Amino acid sequence: MKAKIYVDESAVPKYFKARPLPYALKDNVEMELERLEKEGQIQQVTVNAVSKLDNYPIPKTEDLYATLGGGHEYTKLDLNQACQQIELDEDSKRYVTINTHKGLFRYNRLPYGVASSPGIFQRTLENVVQGISNVLVRVDDILITGKTREEHLNTLSEVLSRLKRIGIRLKKKKCVFMAEEVVYLGFKINKHGIYPVESKVEAIDKAPSPTNVTELKAYLGILNYYNRFLPNLSHLLKQLHVLLQKDTQWSWGKEQEKTFIESKQLLKSASVLVHFDPKKTLILACDSSPYGVGAVLSHKMDDGSDKPIAYTSRTLTSAEKNYSVLEKESLAIIFGIKINLYLQWPHLEFKGGH
């Protein structure tokens, strides 16, 4: 007996992003998928053959960092001309012809600049390291750790063996092996937690005051990369966000300059963010102000102190600014819960602002 699903003949495939998965459920979901695949109830499929863009998801930085807890040493592998190590099939080569003063050339290997390249390479590397614990992959950056040196070395050996098997080469000068501290995806990492990179902080600190909206957007974009380290950032930046509103005339005065300087000081004073540890109690603290809502997720440490895992915040809309204090506090709670993928966890405490 077979069931038939009838579909409108004019229908075309649509791409939907994978839903964010709470970290506490990740292992259970993967086990269930493996069970269904083993029983023949599902099968893994690739994107539609006629798709113009490979929509394979690139992992979010915060999702990768959430798996680093327990590591003591780190190995960072840098791949040599990453995408170009993958050969193109014959049909694809005709799409990557380039016109130069010396004539027409076509790539035989996957080039940079093609929209699908990052997704294709991400999938390739994830397939290579599939089934190996304590390995993070984001396009051409691989990070390896382990709870013990022996575990780390065994993992490293297996990863290198698999890369060699398919002919993937490393850029040795940029690789870091068995280090107590590394910089990975723009953040410094060690066994204690995650930190902003000093050189990046210094560059932001030396940034001149913006003279127009474009320069302000560029500054805020760089600063927001470190927003997980910065409590109540949206509230602090309220004077600068006003300048980004439609039909607002540019005016950089004492208040804007004061906010600009304070935002730099906030980043310079940022504390370490501890690694997520499934064995420790989570604490979600939410608060609101007349201008924004914010939340901080922390761990209850063994000495009884609270150590932050991440901060987040956003500004209020025009309608939300008219909410009562109680409504704003409720909004802060909803915001804190919605943005946190850590929260489906048995050991959770909640703290409100009022």
Q: Please say if the pLDDT value at position 154 is more than 90.
A: yes
Q: For the residues 132-139, what does the mean pLDDT come to?
A: 91
Query: Do 152 and 73 reside in the same domain of the chain?
Result: yes
Enter the pTM of the model: 0.74
Cα–Cα distance, 17 to 279 (Å, whole number): 30
The whole-number pLDDT of residue 338 equals 77
Query: Do 87 and 177 reside in the same domain of the chain?
Result: yes
The whole-number pLDDT of residue 30 equals 77
- Asked whether 146 and 152 are in contact (CB, 8 A), the reply is yes
Query: Do 89 and 183 reside in the same domain of the chain?
Result: yes
Cα–Cα distance, 71 to 51 (Å, whole number): 39
The whole-number pLDDT of residue 159 equals 96
Q: Please say if the pLDDT value at position 148 is more than 90.
A: yes
The whole-number pLDDT of residue 98 equals 67
Burial bucket for residue 303 (CB in 10 Å: 0-12, 13-18, 19+): exposed
Q: Please say if the pLDDT value at position 101 is more than 60.
A: no
Q: What is the DSSP letter of 321?
A: G
Query: Do 150 and 66 reside in the same domain of the chain?
Result: yes
- Residue range(s) defining the domain that contains residue 288: 273-351
Residue in the structure block whose two tokens are 């709670």: 333
The whole-number pLDDT of residue 104 equals 65
Cα–Cα distance, 133 to 67 (Å, whole number): 10
Query: Do 331 and 220 reside in the same domain of the chain?
Result: no
- Asked whether 257 and 209 are in contact (CB, 8 A), the reply is yes
Q: What is the DSSP letter of 170?
A: B
Cα–Cα distance, 268 to 277 (Å, whole number): 26
Alpha-carbon distances, residue 271 vs 180, 185, 311, 339 (angstroms):
19, 18, 11, 21
pLDDT digits (tens, 9 = 90+) for 242-284: 999 888 999 999 999 999 999 999 999 988 999 988 888 888 8
Tell me if 210 is assigned to some domain. no
Tell me if 169 is assigned to some domain. yes
Tell me if 5 is assigned to some domain. no
Cα–Cα distance, 353 to 334 (Å, whole number): 13
pLDDT digits (tens, 9 = 90+) for 322-332: 999 999 999 99
The whole-number pLDDT of residue 4 equals 42
Q: For the residues 1-17, what does the mean pLDDT come to?
A: 56
- Asked whether 260 and 209 are in contact (CB, 8 A), the reply is yes
Query: Do 186 and 311 reside in the same domain of the chain?
Result: no
Higher-pLDDT residue of 115, 195: 195
The whole-number pLDDT of residue 97 equals 72
- Among residues 164, 195, 226, the one where a domain terminates is 195
The whole-number pLDDT of residue 53 equals 58
Structure tokens at 109: 């290997």
C-beta atoms surrounding 322 within 10 Å:
10
Nearest to 157 by CA among 183, 189, 135: 135
Cα–Cα distance, 327 to 324 (Å, whole number): 5
Query: Do 286 and 256 reside in the same domain of the chain?
Result: no
Higher-pLDDT residue of 317, 160: 160
CB burial string 37-70: b at 16+ within 10 A, e below: eeeeeeeeeeeeeeeeebebeeeebebbbbbbbb
Least confident of 1-5, 157-161, 209-213, 342-346: 1-5
The whole-number pLDDT of residue 352 equals 65
Cα–Cα distance, 354 to 351 (Å, whole number): 9
CATH number at residue 317: 3.10.20.370
Residues 6+ apart with CB under 8 A from 31: none
Mean pLDDT of the chain: 83
Q: Please say if the pLDDT value at position 51 is more than 50.
A: no
Query: Do 148 and 250 reside in the same domain of the chain?
Result: no
pLDDT digits (tens, 9 = 90+) for 173-222: 999 999 999 999 989 999 999 999 999 999 999 999 999 999 999 999 99
Structure tokens at 103: 């004539």
The whole-number pLDDT of residue 192 equals 92
Query: Do 163 and 265 reside in the same domain of the chain?
Result: no
Alpha-carbon distances, residue 192 vs 145, 274, 353 (angstroms):
14, 6, 28
Nearest to 178 by CA among 145, 151, 147: 145
